[in-house]
Amino acid sequence: MIDLFNKNLEKAKSINLIEIFNKFLKQQTICKLFIEGDYKFDDSNKNNLKFLTIFNNEGNLKDNVILVKVPTTKPYEILAYFGMGSEDIATVKYWYEKYGAIPASITYDEMEFYVERPPQTLEETKKLAVEHYAFCYGLLWGCHDTLDELASAIYKNVQWYFWWS
């Protein structure tokens, strides 16, 4: 297991995420139209942490939550300990460096982040919404109906949610 961990961490260092995101953008017409379009987003500050993976609808801690101490000081390395791939690790490292995004909760099909420096401009939020969609296709049509809904959810938000169906 430690070999897989080291292999994925090492491989993640050589991944050019900007190139991957730009390639994704070119392949997805919906993303190109979204980036070029003029959308209005929910401009409110979103500082309420309400992790869906940890708390139920009533706000109580779920019964099946396990707290795990991972031996790293680099939050993006947490993914390697859970067997996630190098592109996922590289993406989370990029978001950690750019936004201070820290994985706060991981399940078999969900991941949530606490974000220290959420996007503050519409242009930056649009690009980030496309990155989120590239990272997790389940966000569209599983969690949000459109990219502008996704962008509204992450604009100035200290919490990010991902779900893979």
Q: Whole-prediction pTM value?
A: 0.78
Residue 139, both tokens: 């966000």
Residue 50, both tokens: 């309400």
The DSSP letter of residue 53 is: T
Residue 11, by phi and psi: left (phi above 0), alpha (psi -120 to 50) or beta?
A: alpha
Q: What is the residue whose two structure tokens read 């420096």? A: 117
Q: What's the Rg (C-alpha) of the chain?
A: 16
| pLDDT tens-digit series, residues 28-84 | 776 666 666 666 666 665 656 677 777 877 878 888 878 888 889 999 999 998 888
